[in-house]
Chain A
Amino acid sequence: MTRLAAERRHVVRFTLNGTPLEGEAEPRLLLSDFLRHQLGATGTHVGCEHGVCGACTITIDGALARACLMLAVQADGCALRTVEGLAPSPARLSVLQEALRRHHALQCGFCTAGILMSLDTYLRRHRNPSESDIRDLLSGHLCRCTGYTTIVRAALEAAAELANDLTSEDRNA
């Protein structure tokens, strides 16, 4: 059993987008604050801190999670992915990111990181989503700028493109 005392800082180690990292956290420190303010991974945003807006959505061991509803200490030993890990290289965007850009699917971009994480995770597992699948998935995110239409369109287009890529990979294999 590990008991971490309230007033002390404790070492937390995990991988963030594949890179092993460590920092120190009091038990009560939210994972969102740990990522942003200790590790400088400010791409994950905070919009409500009560689990509704979706801005802080990341993945933990491959599953979606609200970083504001987790403690940093809970993430110890896990594999975390955030928006900073989506692009294949600093100068290139992923298929999904590119699609959002093409469709003007963001304005202020504050909600975007969380939406990207949900879509990226979903599209890895679902090759052929319908519009209602995407709308259902994204109903866990609030965007105040776009009215959502272009986000949904971008997601569907990215899905089609990714499915194509997969099929051509299959063919090449």
Chain B
Amino acid sequence: MKPAPFDYVRAESLDEALDVLAREGGDARIIAGGQSLMPMLNMRLAKPKVLIDIMRIGEFARIDDANDRVTIGAGIRQATLLAWPDLKRRLALVALGLPWTGHAQTRSRGTVCGSIAHADPSAELPLMLLALSGAVHLRSRKHRRRVPAQDFFTGMMATTRADDELIEAVSFQAGTERCAFREVARRHGDFAIVACAAVASGHGVRLAVGGVADMPAARDFPRLAGAALDDALNGFAYDLGARDDLHASARHRRDLVRALGRELITEVLS
């Protein structure tokens, strides 16, 4: 269980990183906290030719809170965000959900943007990004674009990021919204069997679900109660296309979406 050989680039600036990416494209991988990539390197599931370490790029180590958006640079570790004094006030949902991401020992290295780039369908950060109408800020040598979360994730560990692009930041809608988060995993700290995030939105609730489909999914529910809410949740649960795997059956996942969804929506609306 040792990585295959690769060159290692320690980028000191964004331009350096983008240059290498432009040259090497799909043969290069960005490494930030490494908590998702390193296991894959060790198992030789991934064999990039070049690793580009972006953790020494100074401008990435920023949390900006402006214009109703909190923007988190690619160098921000999960633990750093968790310790950000304004987190509860500005990103209440993230304050609830982030402690579910891995363990203290991985949050201390893993970055916020890295988890989103990895696009694991069971991970909490992509889910929360989607729930909070977040966006992914992509950058290549030629251009810069901002992709809404709902367009960024395209499938199992698949995103719209092009090979020459890197995530320079992600941004979340900030505010003191009413929100709730709940997750069910086999053990504490495991990837979610079902994770749900709910945020009050307009006239109702936006419910986002991770761990069920190939990517996190969100749906806006108007103010509903009783059987109407049950039906709406049932439809959502089925639409997610749950499947059986080692840790849970499709049926159990749908049950959880229905039950947790109801719990969370009720909580947010109350």
Contacts and interface: CB of A to CB of B under 8 A. Distances in A.
Chains A and B in contact, CB within 8 Å: yes
Interface of A: 1-7, 26-28, 30, 33, 49-51, 54, 57, 63-66, 68-71, 73-74, 76, 118, 122, 136-137, 139-141
B108 A50 contact: no
A76 B9 CA distance: 13
A66 to B, nearest CB: 6
B34 A73 contact: no
Contacts of B109: 63-66, 69-70
A84 B39 CA distance: 26
Nearest to A59: B108
Given A54-B105, A64-B104, A27 B5 contact: yes
B9 A140 contact: no
Contacts, number: 112
A51 B189 CA distance: 12
A46 to B, nearest CB: 9
Contacts of A6: 5-8, 49
Interface in B96-127: 102-106, 108-109
Interface of B: 1-13, 16, 19-20, 31, 34-35, 38-39, 41-43, 49, 51, 53, 55, 77, 79, 102-106, 108-109, 187-189
B42 A30 contact: yes
A80 B97 CA distance: 30
B231 to A, nearest CB: 38
A7 B5 CA distance: 7
A3 B9 contact: yes
Nearest to B34: A69
A61 to B, nearest CB: 10
B8 A1 contact: no
B11 A139 contact: no
Given A27-B7, A69-B35, A1 B108 contact: no
B34 A118 contact: no
B108 A3 contact: no
B38 A70 contact: yes
B7 A136 contact: no
Contacts of B49: 6
Contact of B8 (A51, A71, A140): A71
Nearest to A7: B5
Contact of B3 (A3, A28, A137): A28
B105 A5 contact: no
A21 to B, nearest CB: 19
Given A28-B3, A66-B109, 13 more contacts: A2-B10, A7-B5, A28-B41, A49-B39, A50-B42, A63-B77, A64-B108, A65-B108, A69-B42, A73-B10, A118-B104, A122-B104, A141-B105
A76 B10 CA distance: 11
Given A2-B10, A6-B5, A118-B104, A27 B42 contact: no
A71 B2 CA distance: 11
Contacts of B79: 63
Contacts of B106: 51, 66, 69, 140
